[in-house]
Amino acid sequence: MKAAVLHAPNQPLTIEDVSLTKPKSREVLLRTAFAGLCHSDLHFIEGLYPHPTPVVLGHESAAVVRAITSSPACRCSAAPARNASPATRTSVRTPRSRCRPARRAA
């Protein structure tokens, strides 16, 4: 799939082909239809939020569920498709860190 990749702060994003691994336990695989960058993503690009690179930014999207492994450990927005089945349409807003129940289960 194509993705906008940040390789270093203060550098332009590059559009690249990226590959995905199969979802692990408590993960959901989504086919993203649309994704946007928000002001938080600009902070990563500007180096204000240090983060390992390369990284694909954009944590707000519209997607279709492709696969679900097992039930996510929490009921927060990190698990938008917890009650979904493949082909379910969903919106996604992933937090930058996991909630307490998800951290305990990891």
pLDDT of residue 83: 59
Cβ-defined contacts of 7-10 (< 8 Å, 24+): 7/53, 7/54, 8/53, 9/44, 9/45, 9/46, 9/47, 9/53, 10/45, 10/46, 10/47
Q: Report the domain count for the chain.
A: 1
Domain that holds residue 7: 2-105
* Average pLDDT, integer, range 22-40: 81
The CATH number of the domain holding residue 31 is: 3.90.180.10
- At 39-68, the pLDDT tens digits run 888 999 999 998 899 998 877 888 888 887
